[in-house]
Chains A and B, each alone.
Chain A
Amino acid sequence: MSESPVTAEEVQHIADLARVNLSDDEIEEFCDQFQDILEYFESLDDVPETDQERELTNVMRPDEVGTSLSQEEALQNAPDKEDGYFKGPPVS
């Protein structure tokens, strides 16, 4: 996949998935850089088959009601709030 150059369309598609706006200059710069970096990651193709068995311990427990942030504390860093709610843009 990295034999062909990373295109501006691909970078824009990834930026859309990640919800990050990019300028045209940034898109161009990232095309070149991503090409090099993804090519470098190709070296992972040769990793030998590995046994990934790990001993895991279940640390889950039943829910217990405890102390939490107050509504005021939870809202204190919000750029916009209204009637005790976080206020944000409309859903698509």
Chain B
Amino acid sequence: MTINAYITEESISGSDSGQLSDATIAIKDNISTKGVRTTCGSEMLADYVPPYDATVISRLKQAGATISGKTNMDEFGMGTTTETSAFGPTKNPHDHSRVPGGSSGGSAAAVANGDVEYALGSDTGGSVRCPAAFCGVVGLKPTYGLVSRYGLIAYANSLEQIGPITATVEKAAKLLEAIAGKDEHDATTRSLPIPAYTDAIGQDISDLTIGVVTELIEGVDEDVKDVFEAKCNELAARGATVTDISIPALEYAVPAYYVIAMSEASSNLARFDGVRYGISGGYDGDWNDAFAKSRDAGFGDEVKRRILLGTYALSAGYHEKYYEQAQSARSHIRNSFDNAFDDVDILASPTMPTTPFKLGESLSDPLKMYLADVNTVGANLANIPAISVPAGTANDLPVGIQFMGPAFEEKTLFKVASATA
């Protein structure tokens, strides 16, 4: 009856004391743990043992936390269901015939299953929030630059952040306090004081205006919409002002996300050539032959697809049409979010347009799978924080509500999230 949440189950102890000394934390397997295998869910790294800890891991050890192991994920973070993992899919604890979401499905499932109360995932286009929503737990994507990416094996480095996946909003705040903050090893982290996020828990929300993004309701299943709207009514009853808001630029979010993510992936995964780590391509022919063989052996279908499409989007003759247009779309989206936050404090939407899919249902149509990210990719493109909180169930399956806030306003997100739970 195993749900296959872990790729490597191995306990790693932290220091004797600290604010997380009573915490056991599951770690997504794309975060480097010194001396403990880190696979990114890929054959390419099936035997890779990092010689150093990611900064978030060093900070967790310093805070006294115990690590329970490395969790299952879509290969290199590429997927929405954890089915592209080379180590088999993870089952949703709420319904073993369904996916836990992805790409941080193992982390979310470990929390939902009660194995641990804390986990770390990574979110490039929704990979913390989607599994949090599908598994009925809390998941936060921090503002880009809040949490160090040093030691996070890169998929799309202008989009991704490591974030907490936890049983409660308060635990997410506690975990974020331990990992957030400037890191000299990651030049994209910001020198900003880290607030006591846990202070925001339980605060009164009657001073908040929440904007429901109309474009992110359109394609949502009716039963999910009902749960979302009921939650919004509850928040209004607790004193928040809930209003509709339109952000037309979001029509470009999914194509812009995929062009940028795939382009960055094609560059970030070029390092996997079987020489310094990975599966060797042997010595028949020259390095082009050897690398091509190594990468064919090491990468699954979805990874190959994204590397090729990214290569295409960046290649001579197509660079302007795809990559540069996507960057324009990204600026357009970022500006639109900035303008929206002039009118409201927080934006809200359902996290996912559906309840969790059946295992195997989505594998034959990659484009259909990409469209499921419609509600989550905007926050990555705009580099703003976003959190998914359990909102209820539809047909006994978890539904998540997503809140997005201005950059570095995680405290406001925790305030509204704690009022929702």
A residues engaging B (CB < 8 A)?
Answer: 1, 11, 14-22, 26, 30, 33-34, 36-38, 40-41, 43-45, 47-52, 59, 69, 73-74, 76-80, 86-92
Q: Which residues of B contact A76 (CB under 8 A)?
A: 49, 51
Q: Which residues of A contact B225 (CB under 8 A)?
A: none
Q: Are B329 and A44 in contact (CB under 8 A)?
A: yes
Known contacts being A1-B318, A21-B296, A91-B286, is A78 close to B277, with CB within 8 Å?
A: yes
Interface residues of B in 102-152 (CB under 8 A from A): none
Contact partner of A45 among B277, B304, B309, B325, CB < 8 A?
Answer: B325
Q: Which residues of B contact A91 (CB under 8 A)?
A: 286-287
Q: Beyond the given A50-B331, A77-B47, A88-B275, could you list 9 further A-B residue pairs with CB under 8 A, ordered by the A residue number?
A: A18-B295, A30-B308, A45-B325, A47-B329, A73-B51, A73-B52, A76-B49, A78-B276, A80-B275
Q: Are A19 and B329 in contact (CB under 8 A)?
A: no
Q: Which residues of B contact A22 (CB under 8 A)?
A: 296, 304
A19, A37, A78, A87, most chain B CB atoms within 10 A: A19
Interface size bucket, B side? Answer: 35 or more
Once the chains are docked, how many angstroms separate the CA of A21 from the CA of B298? 11
Q: Are A50 and B366 in contact (CB under 8 A)?
A: no
Known contacts being A18-B311, A44-B325, is A36 close to B367, with CB within 8 Å?
A: yes
B residues engaging A (CB < 8 A)?
Answer: 47-49, 51-52, 187, 251-252, 255-256, 258-259, 266, 270, 273-283, 285-293, 295-296, 299, 301, 304-305, 307-309, 311-313, 315, 317-318, 321-322, 325-329, 331-332, 335, 366-367, 370
Once the chains are docked, how many angstroms separate the CA of A77 from the CA of B50? 8
Contact partner of B328 among A1, A38, A52, A86, CB < 8 A?
Answer: A52
- In the assembled complex, 23 residue pairs joining A and B whose CB atoms fall closer than 8 Å, in A order, are A1-B317, A16-B292, A19-B291, A20-B292, A20-B308, A21-B296, A22-B304, A33-B305, A37-B258, A37-B366, A43-B255, A44-B252, A44-B259, A47-B256, A52-B328, A69-B51, A73-B51, A77-B48, A78-B276, A79-B278, A79-B280, A89-B286, A92-B286
Query: Distance (Å) between the CB of A5 and the closest chain B CB?
Result: 14
Residue of A nearest to B313 (CB): A41
Q: Which residues of A contact B293 (CB under 8 A)?
A: 21
Once the chains are docked, how many angstroms separate the CA of A41 from the CA of B286? 35
Contact partner of B287 among A21, A47, A77, A90, CB < 8 A?
Answer: A90
Q: Which residues of B contact A41 (CB under 8 A)?
A: 255, 258-259, 313, 322
Q: Which residues of B contact A21 (CB under 8 A)?
A: 292-293, 295-296
Contact partner of A18 among B266, B282, B328, CB < 8 A?
Answer: B266
Q: Are B255 and A44 in contact (CB under 8 A)?
A: yes
Q: Which residues of A contact B251 (CB under 8 A)?
A: 43
A22, A34, A50, most chain B CB atoms within 10 A: A50
Q: Which residues of B contact A92 (CB under 8 A)?
A: 286-288
Residue of A nearest to B48 (CB): A77
Query: Distance (Å) between the CB of A89 and the closest chain B CB?
Result: 4
Q: Which residues of A contact B276 (CB under 8 A)?
A: 74, 77-78, 86
Q: Which residues of A contact B270 (CB under 8 A)?
A: 18-19
Q: Which residues of A contact B315 (CB under 8 A)?
A: 14, 17
Contact partner of A47 among B252, B289, B299, B313, CB < 8 A?
Answer: B252
Once the chains are docked, how many angstroms separate the CA of A40 from the CA of B305? 15
Contact partner of B295 among A19, A38, A48, CB < 8 A?
Answer: A19
Q: Are A34 and B332 in contact (CB under 8 A)?
A: no
Query: Distance (Å) between the CB of A21 and the closest chain B CB?
Result: 4
Once the chains are docked, how many angstroms separate the CA of A47 from the CA of B335? 13
Once the chains are docked, how many angstroms separate the CA of A37 from the CA of B285? 34
B259, B288, B309, B318, most chain A CB atoms within 10 A: B309
